Chain A
Amino acid sequence: MNALTATGLHKRYASHHALRGLDMEIPQGSLFGLLGPNGAGKTTFIRIANRILAPDEGRIELFGAPLDASSALRIGYLPEERGLYKSMKVGEQAMYLAQLRGLSATDAKQRLRTWFERWELQSWWDKKVSDLSKGMAQKVQFITTVLHEPELLIFDEPFSGFDPINAQLIREEMLRLNREGRTLIFSTHRMESVEELCTHIALINQGQNVLSGTVQGVKDRHRSGRFVLRYRAEHAASFTLPEGVELTRNEQEASGIFTSEFRAGLDDASRLLTALAPQVAVYQFEEVVPSIEDLFVQTVQGV
């Protein structure tokens, strides 16, 4: 089942058309990366999923049912622009937000105590938010986002505003939550975190889903049939190539190391390596796989 299914979403603002028939399938249990350049419609989609905005056209379903007032209890949302009441005390504020998400006062207090102990924040309970650093306030907000243990978590740019140590903490929390079976959606422009974390991705450009699937699946769909061989030699080798294979590059990389590139069929890796192995001292052989970042740039720029 899908945690979230969107079909043909359209959203027009006064001056621009933010979503133009966006389709999206977010499988239950996935750690889903939402990619796209600024203004692509990521935040609009996230806001529609959170019922902050209603789509002009199209349908959106949460675990197979249309969104309604109870959806908020099953979703945890961390917006890109974070903030809390500055003059309110940390504990009181966390209690308020937890109760808004349907927790009883006793449950909220008990769970908050567990979280505050885990992250060693107990001494902050009676401090005002204005006395906290930005990173500290963001930790508090993260806790209030996940406290009601929702099945679906939506984080808009979760790593922005965190220092590297806290960003690592958040990353570990996200993986832990995902291991516990929760579905996570997060938007980001940091590609390295995508390959490291995500099971699935979708690339949104100009209000449409232009590329989506599992990370490996997306990469496989963009195989180019290019292979790189690095070998040890004193002089550039001249290769005897099997049929259908073309040598596109053969040059010295460092003293004693040469790099050559071949164009062949998508499934020719084994055949090619078998043919090349007797001819040179193989140092490294690999298929050229596009990185998500390459695909992002290619797709957006229409290359």
Chain B
Amino acid sequence: MKPFLLVAQREITTRIRKRSFLVMTILGPVLFIGLMVAPTLIAMSSETEELNLIVVDHSYVLPGTPSVEGANLAYFDPKEVTEEQAIALVRERDDIDGLLYLPESVNSDPEFSLKNAKLYTETTAPLGMASELEGLLERFAYEGKLRHFGVDPALVTQAKSDASIEAFELSDEGSEASGTEIKTGIGFFSGILIYMFTFLYAAQIMRGVIEEKTSRIVEVLVTSVKPTQLMLGKILGIASVGLLQFAIWIALTAAAASAVGAAGLLSPDPAQLEALGAAGQTPPELGELQSVLGTLDALNLPALIAMFLFYFLSGYLFYGALFAAVGAAVDSETDTQQFMLPLTLPLVLTFILSTNIIENPNGPVAVALSLIPFSAPIAMMIRLPFGVPWYELAASMSLMVLGFLGTVWLAARIYRVGILSYGKKPTYADLWKWIRMKP
């Protein structure tokens, strides 16, 4: 086998057998699914515990026994029970969890008891219980006032209207729903993925180079493999591991999502919504879902995924080579700081400027950032869902290819000298000398 392939093969086999690879591979989808399922689970769990509250209401705002989510309310005649007696009752009786107390009004101001209501509970009151009760009090006070002014509350409800605006983009082919939120979401998400992967895997290259250097095995390796090939073998080996992990994530997430979806934990369930739509009922989510699907259709997903892979790989190669050079230049990871800053700064800066790109995807800042290879992988991925002229895309991709060829060349020159230099921490001037040095 070619030495270059042996190097890549070693990177792959040693890395995928590491425990951290297994953990990350499993944990990734678990996190994704967790994020999707958590809201449903939280909603379900809060329904299970109901509090038994007694109500002592001096304001007489609450009529009868209105229901409130998460609590059963029992009314006591305020004329017969004092605040202290009610509290004592809560303490004595196990089946009573708390007391909602509205004090007597001062100067017959009904607002006073509303503003000074108290909630006593034996355990910590669930999050949102107080605000739920506040809403309840406000609603009945509001309706009471309407009646006092001679207005039927049902009339007020009828008078309310719901407005909703859908944005359309006028293009040559006609008009299409612009779906700005979804585009922002897709662009931003793929930008974040590229950002994370670049850092994660480029840093792995750097650590691998430092390991070979500090263990001194590199001196034996470079007699069989040219330094440039050793570096490229390492970069491509780690890239394969990254892509493999990525593929497993997607497969596992899709499998888990469909399993979880079948269990009815994911809302909204598209089939159920369609059935509802067919029955003539249109819940608000259905309209949203249709517009999401419409936007996704209009986005040409295969092209987006292809572009994602291109920018993911070229960005990784671009930064991976530079990180390899940093690893070769230093003796230990603690010395990497001074060389890391100029590499991480453009990435972080692009990320900070991403809001600017989203606000104005075809503005000068966005265009410039998506052409410069340092920022293009993130900036272009954010811009792409909003539509990018073909010539800009072509220019950006060509610059990206030139960019990583350039950094690989530059890094190789630093690498071949650096891996055999020990001791003194090099300066930027030293690195420049290494670049110009004959092999």
Contacts and interface: CB of A to CB of B under 8 A. Distances in A.
Interface in A38-61: 47, 50-54, 56
Interface string A138-153: 0001001100000000
Interface in B73-89: none
B216 A79 contact: yes
B3 interface: yes
Contacts of B433: 14
A144 B220 CA distance: 10
B13 to A, nearest CB: 8
Contacts of A54: 438-439
A101 B223 CA distance: 9
B6 A52 contact: no
Interface string B211-232: 1101111011111110000000
Contacts of A47: 420
A82 B222 contact: no
Interface in B185-229: 211-212, 214-217, 219-225
A247 interface: no
B10 interface: yes
A169 B216 CA distance: 23
A24 B212 CA distance: 31
A72 B224 contact: yes
Interface string A76-88: 0101011111111
Interface in A189-240: none
A101 B215 CA distance: 19
A79 B1 contact: no
Contact of B420 (A52, A83, A87, A141): A52
A52 B222 contact: yes
B300 interface: no
Interface in B25-76: none
A160 interface: no
B164 interface: no
B216 A51 contact: no
Contacts of B123: none
B287 to A, nearest CB: 55
B223 A52 contact: yes
B215 A84 contact: yes
Interface string A82-102: 111111100000001101111
Nearest to A129: B215
Contacts of A75: 223
A interface, size bucket:
20 to 34
B14 interface: yes
A87 B215 CA distance: 11
Contacts of B437: 14
B211 to A, nearest CB: 7
B136 to A, nearest CB: 62
A190 to B, nearest CB: 21
B439 A85 contact: no
Contacts, number: 56
Given A83-B216, A100-B6, A50 B223 contact: yes
B438 A56 contact: yes
Contacts of A100: 3, 6, 221, 224-225
B102 to A, nearest CB: 68
B6 A96 contact: yes
Contact of A52 (B211, B219, B438): B219
Given A72-B224, A88-B14, A81 B219 contact: yes
Nearest to B215: A83
Contacts of B439: 53-54
Contacts of B224: 72, 100-102
Contacts of A72: 223-224
Contacts of A102: 224
A101 B225 CA distance: 9
B278 to A, nearest CB: 60
A1 B19 CA distance: 53
Interface in B282-330: none
Given A54-B439, A79-B216, A96 B10 contact: yes
A77 B1 contact: no
Interface hub of B3, B219, B225 (most chain A Cβ within 10 A): B219
Contacts of A99: 1, 6
Contacts of B438: 54, 56
Interface string A22-50: 00000000000000000000000001001
A126 B350 CA distance: 46
Nearest to A86: B215
A80 to B, nearest CB: 9
Given A54-B439, A100-B3, A85 B217 contact: yes
Nearest to B225: A100
A51 B14 contact: no
Interface string B415-431: 00000100000000010
A53 B220 CA distance: 13
B17 to A, nearest CB: 10
Contacts of B225: 100
B163 to A, nearest CB: 63
B36 to A, nearest CB: 36
B411 to A, nearest CB: 18
Interface hub of A52, A86, A87, A141 (most chain B Cβ within 10 A): A52
Contact of A84 (B3, B10, B217, B222): B217
A79 B223 CA distance: 11
Contacts of A81: 216, 219
5 contacts: A56-B438, A75-B223, A96-B6, A97-B220, A141-B220
What 5 A-B pairs are tightest by C-beta distance, nearest first?
A: A83-B216, A83-B215, A100-B224, A81-B216, A79-B219
Interface of A: 14, 47, 50-54, 56, 72, 75, 77, 79, 81-88, 96-97, 99-102, 141, 144-145
Given A85-B211, A87-B14, A144-B220, 4 more contacts: A47-B420, A82-B216, A86-B211, A96-B10
